[in-house]
Amino acid sequence: MLDPALLRSRLAETAARLKETRGFTLDVAAVEALESQRKQLSTETQDLQNLRNTRSKAIGQAKAKGEDVAPLMAEVAGIGDKLKANEHALAEVQAKLADIALGIPNLPHESVPLGQDENHNQEISRWGLPRQFDFPVKDHVDLGARHGWLDGEAGAKLSGARFTVMRGQLAQLHRALAQFMLDLHTREHGYLECNVPLLVNAESMQGTGQLPKFEEDLFATQVGDTRRYLIPTAEVSLTNLVRDTIQDVDALPLRFTAHTPCFRAEAGSYGRDVRGMIRQHQFEKVEMVQIARPEDSYAQLEEMVGHAEKVLQKLQLPYRKMMLCTGDMGFSAAKTYDLEVWLPSQNTYREISSCSNCTDFQARRMQARVRNPETNKPELVHTLNGSGLAIGRTLIAVMENYQNADGSITVPEALRPYMAGAEKIA
């Protein structure tokens, strides 16, 4: 969440920035009214606490003198009742302010271009040239129909729409991609591989910004009084590893990676990319997370994007790097780069990785901190996350870019060690 100081001392300015950059309307009047109540109740509560302490001392002094303390005892009891009522009212006001704060998106970095949607994103660079085919190009669905490799009907029978079954060599290629990505990030990029829970509690989802705003996009389970959520990305589990901790400055940056299934209800997105595996309720991803010192986080973002790019480069997949505009960024992000891979069947680039610096937005929710060696006081860390990469979409890109006229698929050289040396699947 945003620094509470912005909502107290710079409310109008913050509201204007949110409107301009995010299209988000902050109810300034409601915040001002609640903040006024908070200040009044806080002052009254402090005054009552001081008065109770003064009267309690007076009781002790009166007892020492043998005086009647009944009137003072009655007064202290009355003060206690008022204090309890004030503390309850103050807690309610603070909870309302916290609810408002939890629904406010992060403020974009000054380098992020202004814009309302993906049409205003800024292209930074391109890598590789799209392949020129001398035969009609098939999409991944038609290529996957070979030998029943990719079976949407079986997925629908088992679970419903937007689930897919993979079989045989295609399932093996999918697994090879995950292993290749993990090995690259751990051996060459310095990430610590983690195996994390797929079911997390509400505190974890709130920590990274999925709750309370995006609950309808999540899959949840309820056992008795315990509610848990299936992770939409391993970012949730990996980032929350530092929740309620104080890191040693010399340990930063922390670099975590994990290969997990991801689960997204994606309420309201039906009708888009319904064919094949582009948009699924269940998919797999290799996630990267970094925990950084504030002064280093934007340099770490550039590094992380480079790590995701390296996957595409080693697979020889053409792509472009985009900086997202203010209106297209995720809720928690201050700056985001997307990598978009070339898909021949669509004759366009499609998102395959998104890398973001969330600054202290998630850390404030999680109370994830680092001890400042100069002041010896804990300060909020900066959190970053990125796809390294989405495995299903990478599989689609490999299938389409490496397809042959007979429907077989050439295995990229980088993946052959993970495919027992196979040069193609057919």
Q: How far apart are CA 418 and CA 363, in angstroms?
A: 37
Query: How long a stretch of residues is the chain?
Result: 426
The CA–CA distances, whole Å, from 75 to 62, 66, 78, 93, 316 equal 14, 18, 5, 27, 80
Handedness of CA 100, 105, 109, 114 (dihedral sign): negative
- The H or E element spanning position 239 is helix 235-239
408: left (phi over 0), alpha (psi -120 to 50) or beta: beta
Question: If you count DSSP H runs as helices and E runs as strands, how many of each does the chain have, helices first?
Answer: 12, 18
Residue with tokens 């996009």: 217
User: Among 47, 45, 149, 151, which Cα is nearest to 92's?
Assistant: 45
User: Among 196, 330, 344, 326, which Cα is nearest to 258's?
Assistant: 196
Catalytic residue positions, numbered: 264, 279, 351, 354, 393
Residue with tokens 């994390």: 196
- For 44, residues 6+ apart whose C-beta sits below 8 A from its C-beta are 86
Q: How far apart are CA 211 and CA 320, in angstroms?
A: 31
Q: What is the rounded radius of gyration, in angstroms, for the C-alpha atoms of the chain?
A: 27
Please tell me whether the peptide bond between 261 and the residue prior to it is cis, using omega within 30 degrees of 0: no
From first to last of its 426 residues, the chain has per-residue pLDDT tens of: 999 999 999 999 999 999 999 999 999 999 999 999 999 999 999 999 999 999 888 988 888 888 888 888 889 899 999 999 999 999 999 999 999 999 999 999 999 999 999 999 999 999 999 999 999 999 999 999 999 999 999 999 999 999 999 999 999 999 999 999 999 999 999 999 999 999 999 999 999 999 999 999 999 999 999 999 999 999 999 999 999 999 999 999 999 999 999 999 976 555 557 688 999 999 999 999 999 999 999 999 999 999 999 999 999 999 999 999 999 999 999 999 999 999 999 999 999 999 999 999 999 999 999 999 999 999 999 999 999 999 999 999 999 999 999 999 999 999 999 999 999 999
